[in-house]
Chain A
Amino acid sequence: GAVVSQHPSWVICKSGTSVKIECRSLDFQATTMFWYRQFPKQSLMLMATSNEGSKATYEQGVEKDKFLINHASLTLSTLTVTSAHPEDSSFYICSARPTLAGVTDTQYFGPGTRLTVL
């Protein structure tokens, strides 16, 4: 149980285009989902916390107009990288906390999306 999927697993796009990444909890409901990015050999960096039915909470330094997050249902959150640039190339990982879980319970991570912007 507790499986999280991401789609696509990798994507290459041209500079200036937008890319949408989906994060789905397959066998549980998740009121809260998290979006991270990770550069090579670096730690996970939390970008935003997504709550179903409300606006996402962005971390300091993350542009909310560039990284659009929508959490329209209890099993789906999307991250759209708008007007992507090469510096946005990274590994994007989502995680989900089951609705019935306590706040200190583990998050379940998706397999990640490798974004390369040319």
Chain B
Amino acid sequence: GQNIDQPTEMTATEGAIVQINCTYQTSGFNGLFWYQQHAGEAPTFLSYNVLDGLEEKGRFSSFLSRSKGYSYLLLKELQMKDSASYLCAVMDSNYQLIWGAGTKLIIKP
């Protein structure tokens, strides 16, 4: 079956750096997405990786290793507003998104 794994919850300190990991096993691969979702709100797009390597976008970076079925989202200079759930989603061979359960990130002052 298809499976996306990410930690349920992480805690980090304001101003610090945090890495949220995602491993996947899917039927085919057409890219991996990261979304941010604040409580009670819809997800917002953060990044898309389809080739191996690191994509940097401001304070957020996303890494992909297709051979390892692994990705991470790196958040730098953490701010209180970064407290949210971070969803990893993989697009399979049918171009359907397979979603992880999300990682709840708690930022402490």
Contact = CB atoms under 8 A, between A and B. Distances in A.
Contact of B41 (A42, A44, A106, A112): A112
Contacts of B33: 106
Contacts of B35: 109
A44 B95 contact: no
Contacts of A91: 40
Interface in A66-118: 91, 93, 95, 103-112, 114
Interface residues of B, number: 24
Given A104-B31, A104-B91, A108-B45, A46 B96 contact: yes
Contacts of A103: 30, 95
B12 interface: no
Q: Is the interface of A mostly helix, strand, loop or mixed?
A: loop
Contact of B48 (A42, A46, A104, A108): A104
A49 B31 CA distance: 19
Contacts of A46: 96-97, 99
A43 interface: yes
B50 A104 contact: yes
A58 to B, nearest CB: 13
Contact of B40 (A42, A109, A114): A114
A104 B102 contact: no
Interface of A: 41-46, 91, 93, 95, 103-112, 114
| In the A-B complex, the 3 residue pairs with the closest CB atoms | A109-B42, A43-B101, A106-B45
25 contacts: A41-B101, A41-B102, A43-B4, A43-B87, A44-B87, A44-B99, A45-B99, A46-B96, A46-B97, A46-B99, A93-B43, A95-B42, A103-B95, A104-B30, A104-B91, A104-B95, A105-B48, A106-B45, A109-B35, A109-B42, A110-B42, A111-B41, A111-B42, A112-B42, A114-B40
Given A44-B87, A111-B42, 6 more contacts: A93-B43, A95-B42, A105-B48, A106-B33, A106-B48, A112-B41
